[in-house]
Amino acid sequence: MKTILITGASSGIGRATAEAFLQNGWHVGLLARRAEMLEEITREHTTALPLRADVTKLADVENAVTTLVTKWGRLDAVFNNAGIFTPQGTIDEIDPNDWHQSLAVNLTGMFNTARVAFAQMRTQTPQGGRIINNGSLSAHSPREGSICYTTTKHGVTGLTKTLSLDGRPFHIAAGQIDIGNAQTDLVERLNNHLIAEGKPLMDMMNVSEVAQSVLHMANLPLSANILFQTILATNMPYIGRG
């Protein structure tokens, strides 16, 4: 039995990934702020554990991991996925509250989850585990008007690199998946924004392809690690952006 905690599991990439892991025999802790959004998954899978928590609150994450470990004995992997995309604009147009909310969820939330997972993996027997952070193509190349999101995703890359380095003595592997334009509600909202501005729509890939990529990373033995993986729609204008 392998166990994984997935944050932001109620919709989009998190939900698709949770379903992929459940279908492949994993025991999955589903963490989200809205527990009711997890009910459909838990009705269909006896190996799914709903965990209501806000990743910006360290105590919430600690309680969630304690609940998971009490039920299943250990934590083998984490998909550190929860994130938000606040309204776009140039820096002088950004509401400072949106900046602080982006930092709270996309960076502090990732830090909190990684911190609690690292502590559990370091002390459990057998020692070790894997932390997979959800980055973005914005961790490398920004989209116009995305200063909040892009800044936080660059921070996630620093978090991943340091976790990978600091985890070595404790058999903790850390990696990052940088995702471009999967078919989720968030990307649909961005497309609607482009439509309103008369701009071309974004090329998208099926979210199930992302889920399978995360599953592949998690299924590796701890002696191997994918430090960074990029998955995107084939025709997405990432390489060669002007």
Would you call 238 a catalytic residue per the annotation? Answer: no
My answer on whether omega of the bond before 126 falls inside 30° of 0, hence cis, is: yes
Which of 52, 55, 149, 180 is flagged as catalytic? 149
Rounded CA-CA distance 17/4 in Å is 11
| CA torsion angle 111 117 123 124 (round to 10) | -170
**What amino acid positions are annotated as catalytic residues?**
149
